[in-house]
Amino acid sequence: MAEARISNQIRTLRFLAGEMTQAELGAKIGVTRQTIAAIEQGKYSPTLEAAFRIAAALGKSLDEVFKWEGCGR
Amino acid sequence: MAWLEKTAWVTLAAMLVAYSVYFTVISLTPLSTFSMLALFGAVMVIQVVVVIVVIAVLAALSSGEARAKPDERDRAIARRGASTAYYVLMAGVITVGVIMPFNRSGWSLVNAALFALVSAETVRQLVIVASYRRGWHG
């Protein structure tokens, strides 16, 4: 699996935001449910714009949702 | 599974089966020009029809995801597949160009060029499938 360098709290924050589903979050920011699942699993790093949209949809700041794990390759 | 990953699997499987049959037959059996054209036409038509039918069935079974526009991850993965396949296609075309002056058979060149195209498309679909399965960070 590709190495994830950016971790996130999307799954937890979705639960705290009224148990929002992946499909609902995806619809809010304009991506598919599968892409939200891939982001949660660390299989895809969203663009900066999508990251801001996710944070806004969850009512959090960007650094509450995403965390940079270092610059390992 | 993402919709574009499903279509990549279908395209890859149909292409591998169709052109495996084609290249096996032409390498084992000497064919006339008409027979080779007929074989190529049949293989191509069957492949295209199978892909269209299977994708149409999958679209009918899916709940609207087939109509969704590709998102940023789909586009990033598609770009990765195309850029990787470009190098395979370039290598194939250069190889065909190098052997061209030493070969008098038109069909050998046509088949070599076709093999380069099929190889490039196979690599493209493999990269797309692998990127969805294993992850790709764009």
Nearest-neighbour CA in chain A from B1: distance (Å): 7
Nearest-angstrom CA–CA distance, B3 and A69: 31
- Averaged pLDDT, B5-14: 95
pLDDT over 90 at B129, yes or no: yes
What pLDDT digit, counting tens, does each position of A40-68 carry? 999 999 999 999 999 999 999 999 999 98
- Kindly provide the ipTM of the predicted complex, given to two decimals: 0.83
Q: How would residue A2 be classed by pLDDT, with cut points 50, 70 and 90? A: low
CA distance A17 to chain B (A): 24
Dihedrals φ, ψ of A6, to 5°?
-120, 115
Tell me B1's DSSP state. Answer: -
CB within 8 Å: B137 and A5 = yes
Closest by alpha carbon to A30, among A54, A63, A61, A65?
A54
CB contact under 8 A, B73 and A2: no
- Are the Cβ atoms of A44 and B2 closer than 8 angstroms? no
Which one-letter DSSP state was computed for residue A59? T
How far apart CA A37 and CA A39 sit, in angstroms, is 5
Residue A4 has pLDDT above 60, yes or no: no
Interface contact B137-A41, CB threshold 8 A? no
The predicted-structure confidence for B69-119, as pLDDT tens digits, reads as follows: 899 999 999 999 999 999 999 999 999 999 888 887 788 888 999 999 999
Tokens 């292409």, located at residue: B15
The answer on pLDDT for B33 being more than 90 is: no
What is this structure's pTM? 0.86
